[in-house]
């Protein structure tokens, strides 16, 4: 199915009588939002469906996604909970004329849009049929799983999912699932640092988890930062635990700034890490998103900014042709440029974290090491960028998607 960014009439109706109730899904809905479509008509259609049929859990689940995209997290979570109270298994609606070769069952957890790997993007071509089974905290997998060819653990590590991932780690034998939960647990910021410590060619700032009172003691001079954080020193990067997309993320250069930061934050738990200045010779910062699929590295995007805290959407890539030209060269020449330069480091990272699919946000130190900011299997990898502006991206993303397709197909049909 071809879904035009502003054509909300093209959204499919789900059949609530179909086993595993069919979803429009995150990829289609986020694509609409990404291109500026008004999601209110979509929400109205989904509400009407739910009112027409009280068993239409798929309408509520899609409505929950719309509400998250509209910035209404509390209402979105309540709607999601209502849907999960009726149905735990959902099926992503396939594109028209799709002939899937394999069925993948993804195990997911309730939560916001960053709780689970956004697999609907990676399977949007329809070669893989995606079923999504939601498991609540405190529960385990059902004794009898829905029919599938490949089992994929899609839950990302967070405080909310940590206990569930630990339980699932004991329930699943190693190798029986793509992205085993025991390895997902290693992506927590402090555990990732421990896992990557001493890896050749990798620089990752020491990271530690701290409560508000301990940080307040550092700010007041009653506790040395080195007692809390390995090689701890100012400036520090501080962020609330489980925050994403830069929310609450700040650099503090003095104890007084740390006190002021805490005064403006309501969280009780924080991650702190040493700040590493990764500005390059021209004074600009460059942040790269690299995806490891079955141990092989692929380029996803690159952001260039005069500010150390880079997120692709605030880096001004759309507005600046020079930045896009640099990103185009990074993506086009990845195998002979960045990927070759950091081949040993990326290989070590893949081996130490041990996930079949992993997204790495990174930079380069002035000394030339791979500076790892975050490892997260749940980060969004997409093909939503308008081709008339980002003409160079499609071929690279197709290559990445094909690698994921091969990974799943091989897991589903072992020799």
- How many Å is the Cα radius of gyration of the chain? 22
Interatomic CA distance for residues 237 and 308, integer angstroms: 11
User: pLDDT tens across 221-243, in order?
Assistant: 999 999 999 888 999 999 998 77
CA angle, 290 then 205 then 264, to 5°: 100
Tens-digit pLDDT profile for residues 368-390: 999 999 999 999 999 999 999 99
Residue 93 pairs with which residues in a beta bridge?
none
The domain ranges of the chain are 8-182, 206-274, 285-412
Angle between helices 212-220 and 255-263 (to 10 degrees): 140
CA dihedral 258, 259, 265, 269 (to 10 degrees): 70
pLDDT bucket at 414, cuts 50 / 70 / 90 = low
- On whether the CB atoms of residues 24 and 64 are closer than 8 A, the answer is no
The confidence score (pLDDT) of residue 266 equals 85
258 φ, ψ (degrees, to nearest 5): -65, -45
CATH class of 285-412: alpha beta
d(CA 393, CA 389) in angstroms, rounded, equals 10
pLDDT surpassing 90 at residue 14: no
> pLDDT of 325-342, one tens digit each?
999 999 999 999 999 999
User: Which stretches does DSSP call E strand in 205-249?
Assistant: 207-211, 236-240
Q: In CATH, which superfamily holds the domain spanning 206-274?
A: ATP-grasp fold, A domain (3.30.1490.20)
């Amino acid at each position: 199915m071809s879904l035009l960014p502003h054509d909300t009439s093209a959204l499919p109706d789900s059949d609530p009588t179909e086993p595993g109730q069919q979803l429009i899904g995150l990829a289609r809905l986020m694509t609409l939002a990404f291109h500026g479509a008004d999601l209110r008509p979509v929400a109205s259609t989904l509400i009407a469906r739910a009112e027409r049929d009280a068993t239409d859990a798929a309408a509520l689940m899609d409505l929950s996604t719309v509400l998250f995209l509209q910035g209404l997290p509390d209402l979105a979570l309540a709607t999601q909970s209502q849907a999960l109270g009726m149905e735990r298994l959902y099926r992503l609606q396939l594109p028209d004329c799709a002939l899937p070769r394999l069925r993948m069952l993804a195990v997911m957890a309730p939560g916001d849009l960053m709780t689970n790997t956004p697999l609907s993007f990676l399977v949007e071509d329809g070669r893989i049929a995606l079923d999504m089974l939601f498991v609540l905290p405190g529960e385990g997998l059902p004794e009898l799983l829905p029919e599938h060819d490949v089992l994929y653990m899609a839950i990302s590590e967070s405080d909310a999912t940590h206990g569930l991932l630990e339980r699932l780690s004991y329930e699943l034998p190693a190798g029986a699932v793509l992205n085993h939960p025991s390895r997902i647990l290693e992506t927590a910021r402090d555990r990732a640092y421990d896992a990557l410590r001493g890896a050749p060619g990798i620089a990752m700032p020491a990271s530690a988890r701290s409560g508000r009172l301990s940080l307040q003691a550092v700010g007041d001079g009653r506790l040395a930062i080195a007692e809390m954080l390995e090689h701890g020193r100012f400036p520090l990067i501080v962020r609330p635990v489980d925050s994403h997309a830069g929310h609450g993320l700040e650099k503090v250069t003095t104890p007084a700034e740390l006190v002021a930061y805490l005064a403006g934050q309501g969280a009780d738990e924080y991650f702190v890490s040493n700040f590493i200045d990764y500005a390059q010779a021209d004074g600009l910062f460059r942040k790269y998103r690299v995806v490891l699929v079955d141990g092989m590295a692929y380029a996803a995007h690159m952001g260039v900014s005069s500010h150390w805290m880079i997120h692709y959407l605030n880096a001004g890539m759309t507005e600046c042709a020079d930045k896009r030209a640099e990103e185009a060269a990074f993506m086009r020449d990845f195998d002979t440029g960045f990927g070759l330069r950091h081949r040993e480091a990326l290989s070590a990272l893949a081996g130490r974290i041990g996930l079949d699919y992993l997204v790495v946000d990174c930079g380069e130190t002035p000394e030339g090491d791979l500076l790892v900011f975050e490892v997260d299997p749940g980060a969004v990898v997409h093909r939503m960028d308008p081709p008339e502006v980002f003409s160079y991206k499609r071929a690279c993303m197709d290559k990445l998607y094909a690698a994921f397709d091969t990974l799943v197909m091989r897991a589903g049909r072992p020799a």
